[in-house]
Chain A
Amino acid sequence: MKNLLSILVLCTGTLLAQSGQLSGNFQSDFQLYLEDEALDFNLENPSSGFPSERFLSNGFANIMYTNSNFSAGIRYEAYQNALLGYPSGYKGEGITYRYAQFSKNGLDVTVGNFYEQFGSGMILRAYEERNLGYDNAFDGIRLKYSPLKGVYLKSLVGRQRLFFDKGEGLVRGVDGEVSLNEAFVGLNEIKTQVLLGASFVSKYQKDLNPAYNLPENVGSWASRMSVNHGRWNFNSEYVHKYNDPSAVNNYIYKTGNALLMSGSYSKRGFGLSLAAKRIDNMDYRSERDQNLQNLIINYLPALTKQHAYTLATIYPYGTITTGEMGLQAELNYKVKKGSRLGGKYGMGVLANFSNVYAIDKQQIDAFTPLDSTGTLGYSSDFFKVGEEKYFQEFSIELSKKVNKKLKFIGTYINTEYNSAAIVGYSYHGMIYSDIFVLETQYKIKSKHSIRTEIQHLSTEQHEGNWVMGLAEYTISPHYFFAVQNLYNYGNTDKKISYPTVSAGYNKGTSRFALSYGKQRAGIFCVGGVCRNVPASNGLSLSITSSF
């Protein structure tokens, strides 16, 4: 705590001495929870999660000072107490992030907290996703240095954030990247751009477990390449992790690996991208007994499309870090203006296909069941796709501007969702759903516009069909009002509707948003990282501001 104070004093001291720049942002969310009979959301039902406080709030502020080569900052967070659905570890208040950074003679030094990513992040990525309560920032030292033109080196040592505490494990990492075109004079001018990179990451945690001979240092390495040639782009990264028995992989000693490859071609009005991944036993955390979103060192991409429409987020895919294989293809096409389909303004087509399967798993010998603890667990044929399908999705979105005022966006999504494998709803098995969305944007007059969404999800499994309607009225730049209702009319158990009304006011960089209504229970994901949120009813206020 003393250190924090001295950094603060240092900041203010410097601020007075020289003219640096001070910036920051602030957000606070408040929610008043109301009992709800239809949702069985009340104090009498402890499993509904109804908070006995009734009123909960989350808030944070970042304050950052920059002066030429120096910057320092802090973040204060307060959970009094954390909103429903947030990880229960967020409780209380304090300074959770503080750092000082300076660069001199090409050496960049950070002490304190920092976020970092090596390559695609499959070996190491520390980041924050506030909406999910995800934060695995490092606390330690990071150096960045460029010894030669086109050569970039990074190294770090640190421990990771675990709510208001830190994990026990130490993480050490180095990463080097070479831009061949920058490094070699002869290649400066050529059209093909090549980047090569390699990383090594190791974690240390003491072995106090009497039952196992555990590796105290778990190493991993990665190599990557990125090639760009005009409209063509190709990226790949391979990661290898040595034996890492943990609670998530059931204490097996198999090595892990992951491969990610993607290629794309784009020109005006046309874009095509293809990507493939294979992940095998790559859950990597700085403490071997952690689970959920805690102390994760790396980031394994979901490689499925992230949807924004409400009903399309009911069955989101989350990467199965213990093993999966997947493909994704995306096509982006603009039908020309003046053609029969294109009309006066052209038409946008966005099509996406993705699927994910299990990896092949064979018993290591005839006597040992798959994934047996204290063994190598299983063997896997790298090129063989497993039998179980985890996820498949096809989506197409057509956007069409009719005239200067009116625009339509129509979307169709077909999803196969293996609920037992992804979220453990064992009884629902594979959930097949079809989703249709029609979005309309209409500009009434200068500064006044209205946006509506009609969505329908049909499925015979799980909670059955849903329908949703939304109307949003915006008076730019200050006000917006919205009403929406979700209705789970296909649910054989309980047909619940979830109406919400909301309004917002913006002024400069400040924003106030107020909403009242019901929230469905479900799994909310951002970037393939998911958390479970209970159904609730209440009044919420959100304030954000920056300076």
Chain B
Amino acid sequence: MKTFKIYSLLIAIISISLFSCDVIEEPFMVVQEVVSDSCEAFIFSPVETYTKKVLLEDYTGQTCGNCPRAAEKAHELQEQYGEQLVVIAVHAGWFSNTSDEYPNDFTTEVGNAWNTHFGNSLAGNPNGMIDRVGYPNSYILQYSQWGEEIAEQIQIEPLVGIQIAATYNTSSKLICIDTQSEILYDLEGNLNITVVLIESGIISKQTDYSVDPEQYVDDYEQNHVLRKGLTNAWGESLGQETYLQSELFTHRYSIEKQADWDINNMSVIAFVSNPATYEVLQVEELHIID
């Protein structure tokens, strides 16, 4: 009788365990919210010539004491190249952890996914990527190397042109975004578009080893801070395997402004990349409020 009881117990445990497995079928992601009805489609007018713009991703963190040097470098390069250089400051990794002294959380799902995939914070902050060129070998660059790579990438003829339109409704707090990607040459392979929001002029505490003896700045100005992905981290496919010159692809997004965002300092950034190599072919930035 005792043996019987023990058997029943073991059998019960085994059967409970065997059923403890959920296999999830697609879709794995919860379907993204559809574009709000109150957003009206924007009609883009044709553009004669597109210039190549370059994306600089600056991987940084609020407790990274050498990161302000990289931010200064990014600023200096933007002075030099103007609108042709688009900067995203990605706060991710250990240096972006929050604490009592650094309560602001600048990390984002998109930024964390990029950081996990590309391994930037593991490589030691600050560092960055220019159009994600060189993946998977020498793609993580020190800020001293940025200028040279940008100078090279900026020479490249653009293969894709991007236009962005955005409106903000102050009463509903809804941001409506339209993008149009135009293929400029016949292309083989796949293209994805990724759209994110950034915010500049955020005042918060930052560790800074150049400030003696405090080693931090209380009212540091964080610029180009990645705030939110409108697509997922790897973007959405334009949906074809070959592309013909002058084909157009439009995408629409909407999102409600979050309470801690200052809309006056926000921009939309859209970039088209090759999902196989991750290389960014073209990028565009638009300030939401002119």
Asked whether B13 lies within 8 Å of A174 as measured between CB atoms, the reply is yes
* CB–CB A425/B123 < 8 A: yes
Q: Given A173-B17, A363-B276: A215 and B24 within 8 A (CB)?
A: yes
CA distance in complex: A242, B232 (Å): 24
A47-B65, A155-B10, A424-B119 in contact; A172/B20 too (CB < 8 A)? yes
The count of chain A contact residues (Cβ–Cβ below 8 Å) is: 53
CB distance from B234 to the nearest CB of A (A): 5
> Which residues of B in the span 227-251 have a Cβ within 8 Å of any Cβ on A?
232-234, 237, 239, 241
Q: How far is the CA of A363 from the CA of B227 in the complex (A)?
A: 29
Is A99 engaged at the interface, CB distance under 8 Å to the other chain? no
Contacts of A215 in B (CB 8 A): 21-24
B103 to chain A, nearest CB (A): 19
Given contacts A213-B28, A217-B22, A242-B23, contact A366 B119 (CB under 8 A): no
Residue-by-residue, is B140-173 near A (CB-CB < 8 Å gives 1, otherwise 0)?
1010000000000000000000000000000000
B28, A212: Cβ atoms closer than 8 Å: yes
A contact face: mostly helix, strand, loop, or mixed: loop
CB interface residues, B 101-119, toward A, < 8 Å:
109, 113, 116-117, 119
Which of B1-9, B40-48, B198-206, B217-225 contacts its partner? Answer: B1-9
Partner of B28 from A216, A242, A245 at Cβ < 8 Å: A245
Q: Are A217 and B29 closer than 8 Å at their CB atoms?
A: no
B232 contacts A204, CB within 8 Å? Answer: no
What CA separation (Å) do A210 and B215 show in the bound complex? Answer: 38
Alpha-carbon distance A377/B213, docked complex (angstroms): 48
B46 to chain A, nearest CB (A): 27
Residue-wise interface mask of B (75-119) relative to A, using a CB-CB cutoff of 8 A (1 in contact, 0 not): 000000000000000000000000000000000010001001101
B123 touches A424 (CB 8 A): yes
| Complex Cα gap A420–B122 (Å) | 9
With known contacts A155-B13, A217-B22, A373-B233, A367–B28 Cβ distance under 8 A? no
Identify the interface centre among B16, B21, B119, B192: most chain A CB within 10 Å of its CB: B21
Q: From residue 360 to 394 of chain A, which have CB atoms closer than 8 A to chain B?
A: 363, 366-369, 371-375, 388
Q: Does B259 contact A (CB under 8 A)?
A: no
Known: A211-B29, A372-B234. A219 touches B20 (CB 8 A): yes
User: Closest 7 A-B residue pairs measured CB to CB?
Assistant: A219-B21, A424-B122, A367-B237, A202-B20, A374-B29, A369-B275, A215-B22
B residues with a Cβ closer than 8 A to A are 2-3, 6-7, 9-10, 13-14, 16-18, 20-24, 27-30, 65, 109, 113, 116-117, 119, 122-123, 127, 136-138, 140, 142, 190, 192, 207, 209, 213, 215, 232-234, 237, 239, 241, 275-276, 278
**16 pairs from A and B in contact (CB 8 Å cutoff):** A44-B213, A46-B65, A46-B207, A147-B7, A155-B14, A172-B13, A202-B17, A212-B29, A213-B28, A215-B23, A217-B21, A219-B21, A250-B116, A367-B237, A369-B234, A369-B276
